[in-house]
Amino acid sequence: MFKSISKTLLLLLFWQNMQAQVVQDCTDAIPICYNTPINGGTNGFGIDDFYGASSSGCLEQTTTGAIESNSSWYRFRTAEAGQLGFNIGHNSNEDWDFALYRATDCNNLGEPIRCNFFDNSEGTSFIGVGEDPTGDVDSVHFEDWVQVQAGEDYYLFINNFSNVNSGFSIQFTGNIWLDYPNTALDCSIVSNLLGPPIAACEGENVVLDATTSGALGYEWYMDTGSGFQLISGATNSVYTVQASAQYRVVVSTMSGNEISDVQVGFNEVPVTGVLVDESICYGFDTVFDLGIKDSEALGAMEPQDVMVSYHSSQLDAEAGVNALDKEYVPIGGSENIYVRTTSLSNPDCYDVGQSFTLNAIETPVLTFEEQAVICEAVGVLEIGETAPDPNYDYQWESGENTPSLMVSQEGDYTLTVTHGSNGAICQTVRTISVSLSSVPVISSIDIEDMSVNNTVTINTETSGTYEFSLDDGDFQDSNVFEGVAPGVHRVTMRDPYGCGEVQEDIVVVGFMPIFSPNGDVLNETWQIEGLSTLNAPIVTIYDRYGKLIKQMTEFDPGWDGSFNGKPLPSTDYWFKLSYVDDSGNRTYAKYLQSHFSLRR
């Protein structure tokens, strides 16, 4: 979020041996040359370089009433063109701001081209331009890269808003340093003999060279916070530095003495702690949090001082590239993870001496379904893993330790499969619900007819789950078919688990359940609609005693309720319908309602 200036003012000086780098005014800005990490600090401010302004770009007034509270100024000149950025590292509990100006004169800074005035409520350790070195692509504390051209002058203003400061480091970044590692910045702006400030790592050899043509003698001094003290015996043109301090050389010449100062700071080299190997259960969506190993890698080091990264090779760890995501997806099996601990004050100080093994033990993958059906006609079924893995252990809830089991009863059967390796026990548990399925039997078929499109319902008295098809069409779960045209149709009923199927040919026709030949013109004859869809149909009508009353074909107009010209009494009559099937055989239609009523 944006900051509020209602903060408690606390003053904490940077290391004493770094105070010489505190340049509070733009006109005395420290020149930067090469891509050497700069260690600096801030302590108050001198003149107001913004001349009472209330803002400069994103910068606003601090608790001092001015834009500056604890400020430091740097300047540099580009010697090549390319992409340039920088990281300003600091303690995560401190609040720092910066502004970058493209200008040649402190009196004409103009508006900053990059600027950041966000507070540090997130507790981050970096602000800057380009990319956050911790990999946080959404950090509000980083501005876009700067595309620079050769010969451009820049001023970098760094301010401590909270007045609580343990110092900072500056590390330049960007492709310009890959393309021009030694010439990206113009070193002619550094006029002092010993060059720009030097940030080194403990154990490195730092040699200061003050060689001057015609020199008569050299004296070397060191200031660790109590003023410059003569270094006894240091009278050569070069001096090997062994401690962080401000160094001064006095060169005696025929024309007088030449004095040059330089700041040298040694940063502690991280020492990575020993990391223990890890064994985890591995599946297709397994993620291992590498962050849980940070505390082991840090050991006694403070997390605000050191950054931990993980790499898939020693070379990547050495180069500090291709860091693995903390939410790491293992590749499976055993793999070495290489650890790099990097000083946040000076990224050139790092340790890559430790690694650990990540054993991703495969979690058993089961190939069988959770549902199984015993066909009634068979009586038994093999359930479980029929293609077992020899590296797995199998245990049924009922006590058997075989991959599969022969069962004949309905119920739930639970199998636990275990894979153990390198101290990790990975298990998969699956319960199989076994049911019994009977052979399908069609008990009856209901036909709602007397229309162009009829409804056919297939009924069964057997228990189980079945599928249905009409005229060899797609199978469906419903036993009801709508929109069925008159004629001969084939219905199929099957068990989806392969326990059998049955087919029947049905005839869909229509007839009146009641007719009344009483001379009122309505329902005077009884007949069957749709006979024309059948091959050579014959309808025979009987009385309740089985006496043949009438025989009709598709060409008959219907039965008028008489026999030999005499009206028959009101009662129920039965009928049968036969036709010639595709095989040339005469067959009787099944599942038709076989009686109707005569009413007078």
In tens, the pLDDT along 540-571 reads 999 989 999 999 999 999 999 999 989 999 99
The verdict on 107 and 170 lying in the same domain is yes
Kindly write down the DSSP assignment for every residue of 253-288, as one continuous string: ETTEEEEEEEEEEEEPPP-PPP---EEEEE-TT--E
Of 267, 295, 321, the last residue of a domain is 267
The verdict on 116 and 229 lying in the same domain is no
Amino acid at 161: F
Lowest model confidence (mean pLDDT) among 297-306, 459-468, 581-590: 459-468
Q: Is 7 within the bounds of a domain?
A: no
The verdict on 41 and 21 lying in the same domain is yes
Closest CA to 163 of 64, 275, 230: 64
Kindly report the CATH number assigned to the domain that includes residue 583. 2.60.40
Q: Is 46 within the bounds of a domain?
A: yes
pLDDT of residue 444: 85
Lowest model confidence (mean pLDDT) among 166-170, 210-214, 382-386, 479-483: 166-170
Q: How far is the CA of 361 from the CAs of 263, 318, 421, in angstroms?
A: 53, 29, 7
* 16 phi/psi in degrees, rounded to 5: -60, -35
Q: Is 272 within the bounds of a domain?
A: no
Once rounded to an integer, what is the mean pLDDT over residues 428-454?
Answer: 83
In tens, the pLDDT along 251-276 reads 999 988 999 988 898 989 999 999 99
Of 329, 362, 395, the last residue of a domain is 362
Kindly write down the DSSP assignment for every residue of 379-420, as one continuous string: --EEEE-SS--TT-EEEETTS--SSEEEE-S-EEEEEEEEEE
Domain boundaries, position 117: 16-189
When computed from its CA atoms, the radius of gyration of the chain, rounded to whole angstroms, is 47
The verdict on 48 and 104 lying in the same domain is yes
pLDDT of residue 520: 84
Kindly report the CATH number assigned to the domain that includes residue 76. 2.60.120.380
Once rounded to an integer, what is the mean pLDDT over residues 66-95?
Answer: 92
* pTM higher than the cut 0.85: no
Q: Is 2 within the bounds of a domain?
A: no
410 has pLDDT over 80: yes
Calculate the average pLDDT of the chain.
Answer: 88
Q: How far is the CA of 392 from the CAs of 283, 368, 387, in angstroms?
A: 15, 15, 11
In tens, the pLDDT along 449-486 reads 666 678 899 998 877 789 999 999 999 999 999 988 88
The verdict on 467 and 514 lying in the same domain is no
pLDDT of residue 472: 92
The verdict on 93 and 130 lying in the same domain is yes
Once rounded to an integer, what is the mean pLDDT over residues 114-131?
Answer: 93
Q: Is 1 within the bounds of a domain?
A: no
pLDDT of residue 83: 97
Of 455, 487, 508, the last residue of a domain is 508
Bridge partners of 468, per DSSP, are 476, 493
Give yes or no for a contact between 84 and 146, defined as CB atoms under 8 angstroms apart: yes
Tell me the C-alpha distance between 177 and 181, whole Å.
5
Report H helices in 287-389.
Answer: 294-298, 314-319
The verdict on 580 and 515 lying in the same domain is yes
Count up the domains in the chain and report the number.
6
Tell me the C-alpha distance between 80 and 76, whole Å.
12
